[in-house]
Structure 1
Amino acid sequence: MIRANLNRKWLPLYEALASEVRLRILELLSETPMNVKELAGALGLSSAIVTMHTKKLEKGGLIDTKLVRRGGGTHKICSIAVSHVELTIPHTSEPAREFHEVSVPIGHYTDFDVHPTCGLATTERVIGQFDDPRYFIEPERMHAQILWFGKGYVEYRIPNYMLAGQTLEEIEISFEIGSEAPGVSADWPSDIHVYLNEKLLGVWTSPGDSGEGRGKLTPAWWTVNQYGWLKVIRVTSGGTFIDGQRLSDVTLQDVLLQRKDWLLRLAVPDDAEHVGGLTLYGEGFGNYNQSILFRTYRSAANNG
């Protein structure tokens, strides 16, 4: 995430966004990483012009570029660096929003049903053996920073710290996620289902399981799935959104239950159209140094 304001240092970001061509490049890269030649072909432009645009996007912090060996040559691969941009414009009469954030480590799931290919790892070693679901109840799983499975689900219980008199205004959930191919495959779609309090918020189709180029944080000893996509889901009174785009018509009223915790489930059911598994990246893996973040925005309690 980029949180920008009206400071002059953000001018490269604003310039990067001020182009129809560059916005189209971001759309293409949101589907899959591409090199300049591939982008030029998709846009019908010369490689020189596309190179100029990608340099501005990189300077603005919106994309990353890496040199990758492929097919006997070296290619400059472009990929999305952030999932969304938040612009704050000063407004003295607008009160700050009150929220509470819980960071849930990848290994702190409370229920699961997973099927191979599957496994877990800390930043130092694999936990147990590959493709053996029994290790998902290994006590060391609490230290896992990456997990993957071919189909099934993992479920997390998150404490609900709402106080009497407070009104819930929005729920925000973010995590880095991708598909799970045997090995790796950039073209490996997977329909990842997100549930909250047993209510399906929506389905996001991951395009693949990334393996070309290394994740910024992924340990050097790790050789397969490298990074995913940072997805930000917001549940509001007007619907559910993913990265700012409407995901479903599910509202806060549809998931708000009188309970002491929230139940978050990430699943790839075996009856999905694309059963491509999922990989969850935590701190020390992928491109974003975070666990699952669960944030609740609420109005202040009425003490009057």
Structure 2
Amino acid sequence: MELDISKHSLPVFEALASNVRINIIHLLADQPRNMKELAEALGLSSAIISMHVKKLEKAGIIRTDRVPGKGGVQKLCVLYMDRMEIVFPTKKPVSRDFHQMEVSIGHFTDLQIRPTCGLATPEKIIGEFDDPRYFFEGERVNAKILWFYQGYIEYRLSNYLLTSQHPQELEISLELSSEAPFTNSNWPSDIDFYLNDVHLGQWTSPGDYGDSRGKFTPEWWPSVVNQYGLLKNIRITGEGTFLDGNPLSAVTLDDIHVREKQWTFRIAVQEDSDHVGGVTLFGSGFGNYDQDIVFRLAYKENEQKNNEI
């Protein structure tokens, strides 16, 4: 689950603001328990436990199932969430000039992949699952989600930097996750990024998320498969390459030949990686971020004094 600093996340923060509820979470992490078992373990009345359970249930942290018991139907409490991420508001960047290019998920120019795999538009699946041949269907240009287990996919885009413009930094923003059978939040995958055939670095995706429906995922999309990813920001500067503000590699703007008229961007899951767990790419109309792959090249106009008469 991903939280932000807004009123929509308050039920979760409130649910965690209690020692009793924290203790309930730890108990349920060991095994599901009914109300009576929780009350006995914590030395509290069933009425008080019921109040705390309702708050955790409202926040989506646990769920209660009605199951047969010795005295009839009983409520069994189950821990529903095993991880959450809190996204804090970021400082507004200093205003500056930039070229922005957005590449649609289906506009790839090269690939070499192994199943499991598939792709879809916001309206329907393209072809059939686990058959790479459908990645060459004409309709694939409309794809807004795709996934594969191992291999690479590559995009080509134009660079509109002028000779009078000095590049400051390049930011690449995309939503992605691992690719597990159905979903699995604990499914690590080593994902490598390349720009102009230069290895920018590797990020290990924690999992393939399906604990809640993506904010923009279409209603027809099956609930048992990947729903959303994590938004990752790769920033390449004159000092190195950073992922979400953390150092990723020593690759600089000069190393990637930033003035080339065309760029290639490759996303790969290598066969010899420690964690081969696939990749899912989410574009506009899927996941939690209504965007495709965004490239933003910030620049500064060169100050040249014109002495010509």
How high is the TM-score relative to the length of structure 2?
0.73
Residues 139 and 165 of structure 1: CA distance in aligned 2, closer, same or farther (over 3 Å): same
SS of residue paired to 1:252: coil
**Residue 90 of structure 2 corresponds to which residue in structure 1?**
86
Question: Post-superposition shift, 1:164?
Answer: 1.1
Does residue 118 (structure 1) correspond to residue 122 (structure 2)? The answer is: no
Question: Post-superposition shift, 1:165?
Answer: 1.8
Q: Hey, what's the Cα distance between the residues in 2 that align with 1:226 and 1:179? A: 11
Q: Hey, what's the Cα distance between the residues in 2 that align with 1:208 and 1:227? A: 10
Q: Hey, what's the Cα distance between the residues in 2 that align with 1:300 and 1:68? A: 54
Q: Hey, what's the Cα distance between the residues in 1 that align with 2:195 and 2:206? A: 23
SS of residue paired to 2:254: helix
Q: Residues 119-165 of structure 1: CA distance to partner in whole angstroms, max 9, x if unpaired?
A: 10011110001000011111101100100000011111111000012
Question: Post-superposition shift, 1:67?
Answer: 6.2
Residues 66 and 175 of structure 1: CA distance in aligned 2, closer, same or farther (over 3 Å): farther
SS of residue paired to 1:255: coil
1:18-167 aligned at under 5 Å gives the runs 37=25, 66=60, 69=63, 73=77, 77=81, 79-80=84-85, 82=87, 85-88=89-92, 96-167=95-166
State the Cα RMSD in Å: 3.1
**Residue 219 of structure 1 corresponds to which residue in structure 2?**
218
Q: Hey, what's the Cα distance between the residues in 1 that align with 2:195 and 2:249? A: 13
8 Å CA contact retained: 1:66, 1:213: no
1:252-271 aligned at under 5 Å gives the runs 252-256=253-257, 258-271=259-272
Q: Hey, what's the Cα distance between the residues in 2 that align with 1:75 and 1:123? A: 32
Q: Hey, what's the Cα distance between the residues in 2 that align with 1:169 and 1:226? A: 35
Q: Hey, what's the Cα distance between the residues in 2 that align with 1:38 and 1:87? A: 35
Aligned AA (2:158): P
Question: Post-superposition shift, 1:258?
Answer: 4.7
Q: Hey, what's the Cα distance between the residues in 1 that align with 2:115 and 2:64? A: 29
8 Å CA contact retained: 1:165, 1:301: yes
Aligned AA (1:263): T
Question: Post-superposition shift, 1:301?
Answer: 4.3
Please, which runs of 5 or more residues in structure 1 have no aligned partner? 1-9, 17-21, 26-35, 47-54, 56-64, 90-94
Question: Post-superposition shift, 1:88?
Answer: 3.6
**Residue 29 of structure 1 corresponds to which residue in structure 2?**
none
Q: Hey, what's the Cα distance between the residues in 2 that align with 1:276 and 1:151? A: 7
SS of residue paired to 1:136: helix
Q: Hey, what's the Cα distance between the residues in 1 that align with 2:26 and 2:221? A: 28
Question: Post-superposition shift, 1:75?
Answer: 5.5
Greater Rg, structure 1 or structure 2? Answer: 2
Counting aligned pairs with the same residue, the percent is 50
Please, which runs of 5 or more residues in structure 2 have no aligned partner? 17-23, 30-41, 43-54, 66-75
Runs of 4+ aligned residues of structure 1 deviating over 2 Å after TM superposition are 36-41, 65-82, 301-304
Q: Hey, what's the Cα distance between the residues in 1 that align with 2:205 and 2:26? A: 20
Residue-pair matches, total: 250
Question: Post-superposition shift, 1:166?
Answer: 1.1
Q: Hey, what's the Cα distance between the residues in 2 that align with 1:70 and 1:279? A: 31
Q: Hey, what's the Cα distance between the residues in 1 that align with 2:28 and 2:253? A: 42
Residues 189 and 302 of structure 1: CA distance in aligned 2, closer, same or farther (over 3 Å): same
Q: Hey, what's the Cα distance between the residues in 1 that align with 2:152 and 2:129? A: 17
SS of residue paired to 1:155: strand
Q: Hey, what's the Cα distance between the residues in 2 that align with 1:280 and 1:88? A: 26
Aligned AA (2:272): D
8 Å CA contact retained: 1:150, 1:180: yes
Aligned AA (1:137): F
**Residue 232 of structure 2 corresponds to which residue in structure 1?**
231
8 Å CA contact retained: 1:167, 1:299: yes
Q: Hey, what's the Cα distance between the residues in 1 that align with 2:203 and 2:28? A: 27
Aligned AA (2:97): E
Residues 98 and 129 of structure 1: CA distance in aligned 2, closer, same or farther (over 3 Å): same
Greater mean alpha carbon deviation, residues 227-236 or residues 213-222: 213-222
Q: Hey, what's the Cα distance between the residues in 1 that align with 2:171 and 2:283? A: 17
Question: Post-superposition shift, 1:37?
Answer: 2.3
Aligned AA (1:278): V
Q: Hey, what's the Cα distance between the residues in 2 that align with 1:100 and 1:112? A: 26
8 Å CA contact retained: 1:154, 1:266: yes
**Residue 290 of structure 2 corresponds to which residue in structure 1?**
289
8 Å CA contact retained: 2:151, 2:268: yes
8 Å CA contact retained: 2:28, 2:77: no
Question: Post-superposition shift, 1:259?
Answer: 2.2
Q: Hey, what's the Cα distance between the residues in 1 that align with 2:262 and 2:234? A: 18
Residues 132 and 163 of structure 1: CA distance in aligned 2, closer, same or farther (over 3 Å): same
**Residue 186 of structure 1 corresponds to which residue in structure 2?**
185
Residues 124 and 188 of structure 1: CA distance in aligned 2, closer, same or farther (over 3 Å): same
Greater mean alpha carbon deviation, residues 235-244 or residues 252-261: 252-261
